Structure 1
Amino acid sequence: MEHMVHGFGGFKFRVLFYRHGYAIHYAEHVVDPRDGREKLVMADPHNRFSVVIYDVIKGAVEEELTVPGKTIPNPHTAHLLLDNIPAIGGKAGDILCTDRESRWVLIDRDEKRVKWSLSLEDAEWPQDIVPVEEGFIISDYGSGGSGGFVRKVSFDGAIKWSLPIGNAAKISKIFGATASGIHSNSFGGDYIVTQNSDIGSVYEIDENGRVVWRCPKGYGEANSIWLYKPHSAFRLGLAEAGGNLTVVGLEAGGGVIAIDYNCRPRWGIASTYSHIPTLHYRPSTYGLFETTHVFPTLWGTIGAVDWRGYAGSAVIEVLEFPRKPLTWILALGIDPGNGMWLDPPLEILDRESVAMDIVNDGETQVRWGLYVTRQPALIELKHRVRWQLYSSGISDPGSVQSIELDNRRRMFTFARLRAEKVGSGRSSITIFVVWL
């Protein structure tokens, strides 16, 4: 196990794996069913075109399996089978991954050969494959800005359902639930899929292929976040009442960010993103360059893969996140009509400051008011909630108004914004938030 610890501006991480020339893009931390030892199972789709199995405790590469083909960069993911899959001849310890000939494959770990494969006519760049009871959940990235999907297929390749998602990347299975059924980290779905586009999405999908939760949300909705080239995500926590987080890895500029059910960032690192004058990734000030993967470790911590090495990428374990400003969107093109609260209220007791830009893209004025309270619990059925006006104004069409709430003395517990249309005509407001 490697022990190099790095720190940048309050962000600390330990290097789990780095080797000159290894362009690791994916990693999972598992117990090998063949010997009971902790392994990193990693995929290098750009340099070595291989699956790398690394003994974490010994600190040694145990095996490396090169995937067949010469057409596309793969494997982008690799999974160690933890159980047998008799329907395809899979044995615990074999490797499920994608190859360079647009196939999803099972590699016999002992004989180093493909013993099962799946090809689909419309597949252009297979990305991931996750075993389920009746078959697999698979993803395809598409090519040239078109195509891309997430599908459930049976072991013989029959399509059970298909969801078109351009640039569909990595899939993670939602595992967590207690035997009592009270605690679960699902928001109603079974799989998390990322869309690796400029402002990409994270989808939670159920067994029937329905999207039950997503971030960012669409135009005309409240509470959202822009994710810059997200390449992977997983669900963290086992809290009740939807109190869990989705950890997302951001390729553009590097980043690891945890967002809640309402798509609001709680902690993490994220850069800004710009195409002016042209697209360039701007690495974060915390030592991350391009984060292609995030994953849960067996130790209950967060692992990540970032292209920060001199001649390769590094697999890291995050030890400490800095306290830094994070951006999100309270409203995106919303028509407030005769008046609406942009709920849920913002929890700000632990925030030093909250800054907002109110952008009026409509044809009429919008009146807004920012309210605060020191009340620690908002339970209206038991205690009347008392709000006091902190700031207010009228936003003209085409204008941008800024509000800053100073909470460095931790004097307020919640903030809440109300907006209403003034006059006739189409109204539309967008509210960008930066909080620290």
Structure 2
Amino acid sequence: MATKSSFVDVDADSHFPLQNLPYGVFRIPNCAEGPRPGVAIGGLVLDLSVVASHGLFDGPILSNSDCFQQTSLNKFVGMGRPAWKEARATIQKLLSYDEPTLRDNSSLREKALLPMNSVEMVLPIVIGDYTDFYSSFYHAKNCGLMFRPENPIPPNWFQLPIAYHGRASSVVISGSDIIRPKGQSHPVGNSPPHFGPTQKLDFELEMAAVVGPGNEPGKPVDVNEAENHIFGLVLMNDWSARDVQFWECMPLGPFLGKNFGTTISPWIVTLEALEEFACDAPNQDPRPLPYLTEKKSKNYDISLEVAIKPAGEEQSSVVTRSNLKHLYWTLSQQLAHHTINGCNLRPGDLLGTGTISGPVPESLGCLLELTLNGQKPISLNNNSTRKFLEDGDEVVFTGFCKGNGYKIGFGKCSGKVVPALP
């Protein structure tokens, strides 16, 4: 059934109504033309290169721009909020129920609106740098209790958003297989470390901010202006090997095996689309230093879900439900802290939130927490259990906000575990 706001048929349960309009980059299989930017609407993709080539972006900022003729969104996201607003207004108008430009032009409509199941989504941005934060109080507390019960959360965690710099080359698009990694695990007694495939492969339920305009080296971003440097959000699975690589090298404990694979969802949901779902962030005590103190400290009420689908099974099992609103350190604080030493961010950089855990057992954001590091297996719908992920398991993240009669969603972020290489 068509919504009243758009001439496109949009199912009531779709993640992509006219109120959303997330951006991605796609290619047409077996087509010589390269990737191009698009926007999701219902089960269709609006080809922005077609819209641009027909002169339909006629505003003062975008009319002479080639940003939608690129193979990534970097140029567009780097143009800033005025360009984002102009594009959103134009696209909403073109897809609206009362606008005839696309609605009544069958030839143009056929070129511009493509079935989503006929295209292949690729990484929407060229990621120059990737930083992963550690911004969930519940995740930090739960992990600390397992590995440092005498001091679960170090005092400095409450003073600044802790993060590490990851490898952008390891970020892949949803649907990519994840090869079980190998590494060194903790030695037994006086023996040397064991080398082999991880036995504790885990998911981490995260989201990530896509950086828009960057900042010049040496010029930090004010925390109250940081929103203008965030284009939008994606779902992110930061896969982790809990028993290899960093078994006693890191102050956070022997559970951090990173940098072999990170999966993101293909659609970037803009902050404009999420604005109506903004909510108050948790109270921060002690009060942050001035450079982290926001006039209005907010998160977004985004429901998040993780399901595991074992190999050969038709049915998946939901293993956790959480929400972005549980973050202790906000997206703006993360970005402001990242730049406070003069570090320059660039369009397309990715800032992960860290694992998003909630306050109840059903809202824990990784198997490390859900199973108490493998001591308490969880049950799946097919009567099997999991301490950690097995080969063939497909992990699927979903996320959405529920509006008045519609959803603002992210689609899905999925990856299947395949055996380690010989």
Task: Return the TM-score normalized by structure 2.
Answer: 0.26
From the two aligned structures, give the one with the greater strand fraction.
1
Higher relative contact order (CA 8 A, sep 6+): 2
Flag the structure with higher helix content.
2
